[in-house]
Amino acid sequence: MELNTHKADILLSAASKAHYPQDDLPEIALAGRSNVGKSSFINTLLGRKNLARTSSKPGKTQLLNFYNIDDKLRFVDVPGYGYAKVSKSERAKWGKMIEEYLTQRENLRAVVSLIDMRHEPTADDVQMYDFLKYYDIPVILVATKADKVPRGKWNKQESLIKKKLAFDQADQFIVFSSVSKEGLDLSWETILSYL
């Protein structure tokens, strides 16, 4: 597929399926803990500085953000999980919104699941991965902030993450950095393979 990745823009934000785009363009969703580097990943893939907002104040976005890429593909930015300072009812609303999208959206081709490469996956990370596997949703595991991990430790961190997740070897694992652009080409290649 010929894709002009620079022809990208935010299309709309939605909280429920009544507001999702009404066509059959393929969608790749992005999920991860607040602050894992999700917005940075989107910006890096699209060669933009600030299309998806990056911030050090996590937990702000509470809607699904749909990005249109060259009228051929959409990224769907799922609000980050694991942010402590939200109420129980907010968390429940968030859960319903995510579940509705992930389990009912026919356009969905794969989920890019982002995990901080520096640490062992959290309980929330494991829960998200289990959820995706349970619903048979293809996962692209992106280990973020690789520039903060010495290269000599990459294999060890990869093993640690895979073990904790009971990682399915059928899924792609990508070491990524929005600073060094490590994993950029492989990320695109993998995403395009699901379209």
Ligand X SMILES: Nc1nc2c(ncn2[C@@H]2O[C@H](COP(=O)(O)OP(=O)(O)O)[C@@H](O)[C@H]2O)c(=O)[nH]1
Backbone angles phi, psi at 40, to 5 degrees: -65, -40
- Is residue 35 involved in binding ligand X (CB under 6 A)? yes
Least separation in angstroms between CB 51 and ligand X: 11
- Residue ranges of the alpha helices (H) in 15-79? 38-45
CB 173 within 8 Å of CB 141: yes
Q: What's the closest the beta carbon of residue 159 comes to ligand X, in angstroms?
A: 20
Rounded to whole angstroms, how far apart are CA atoms 7 and 47? 10
State which of positions 158-187 bind ligand X (CB under 6 A): 177-179
Cβ proximity of 82 and 34 under 8 Å: yes
54 binds ligand X (CB under 6 A): yes
* 65 binding Mg ion? (CB under 5 A): no
Stretch that binds ligand X, among 7-15, 55-63, 101-109, 156-164 (CB under 6 A): 55-63
Cβ distance to Mg ion smaller for residue 59 or 138: 59
Q: What is the pattern of x (binds Mg ion, CB under 5 A) and - over residues 9-48?
A: -----------------------------xx---------
d(CA 78, CA 114): 11
Would you say 95 or 104 has its CB closer to ligand X? 95
Q: How far is CA 112 from CA 22, 77, 137, 175, in A?
A: 22, 10, 10, 12
Among 145, 171, 174, 187, binds ligand X (CB under 6 A): 145
Chain position carrying tokens 């980050």:
80
Q: Which residues bind ligand X (CB under 6 A)?
A: 32, 34-40, 54-56, 58, 80, 144-145, 147-148, 177-179
